[in-house]
Amino acid sequence: QSALTQPPSVSGSPGQSVAISCTGTSSDVGSYNRVSWYQQPPGTAPKLMIHEVSNRPSGVPDRFSGSKSGNTASLTITGLQAEDESDYYCSSYTSSDTWVFGGGTKLTVL
Amino acid sequence: QVQLVESGGGVVQPGTSLRLSCVASGFTFSHYGFHWVRQAPGRGLEWVAIIRPDESNKYYEDSVKGRFTISRDNSKNTLYLQMNSLRTEDTAVYYCARDGPNWNLDYWGQGTLVTVTS
């Protein structure tokens, strides 16, 4: 059960857009539309931001969007705001009936 | 509102055991599956285990198989994680999370810290 691969860090200025990639395998991301994204500010519990690749739970701003192509999923944040600065994790259901997380990406708003 | 509250963490020696609890409120506990997820200090999230609503199926991350057991008591709205043969690498904040209806972890507790040290 290898972790999904995310870039360690990304950055952008307020108002800009950033994308965070999440690469898995044909046993997880590539086989299921069961990819979700979580936001975790320092010292707090994770919060669900995207589920089933591209669906936003109620209350999540539409600046957050998700997509997937092959074994790679992506989280895109448009119109960056200072409050978006956080750690972001992707997760996927796997063919072993387990879940796997990515290593996490630290988003810095410059 | 949905609430998950973990407890049971602490400082223990390698080779010993600990049981974590997670009390749920604000929804019908017996209708949902639950996960345990951990986060070592300064590290990323690591999925640990899942239990289905009727306890029919339980799955574990490879490094905890045979050492950790996930269970639930629907009469007490409580999820458990029995951790045996603890290792220093099990040191982490342990979160319980609800298995949402859309293949996600939709609500999380605040976590409980387990420190394994000699």
The model's pLDDT over A7-49, given as tens digits with 9 standing for 90+, comes to: 999 999 999 999 999 999 999 999 999 999 999 999 999 999 9
Rounded to whole angstroms, the Cα distance separating A49 from A6 reads 16
- Which residues of chain A from 24 to 83 reach within 8 Å of chain B, CB to CB? 32, 34, 36, 38, 40, 45-48, 51-52, 55, 57
Q: What residue ranges in B8-88 does DSSP mark as E strands?
A: 10-12, 18-25, 33-39, 45-51, 58-60, 68-73, 78-83
Whether residue B54 has pLDDT greater than 90: no
Mean residue pLDDT of chain B comes to: 96
Mean pLDDT of A77-100: 96
Measured from the Cβ of residue B113, the count of other Cβ atoms closer than 10 Å reads: 14
Interface test with A, best of B47, B50, B110 (most A CBs within 10 A): B47
Closest CA to A5 of A106, A73, A81, A57: A73
The per-residue pLDDT for range B31-47, each reduced to its tens digit, is 999 999 999 999 999 99
A53 class by beta-carbon count within 10 Å (0-12 exposed, 13-18 middle, 19+ buried)? buried
In the predicted model, what is the mean pLDDT of residues B106-117? 97
Q: Which residue has the tokens 């879940």?
A: A99
**Kind of pairing between the strands at A99-101 and A47-50:** unpaired
Both structure tokens of A80: 């960056």
Average pLDDT over residues B103-108: 94
Q: What is the pLDDT of residue A62?
A: 95
pLDDT at A1 > cutoff 80: no
H/E segment holding residue A29: none
Chain A: closest CA distance from residue B48 (Å):
8
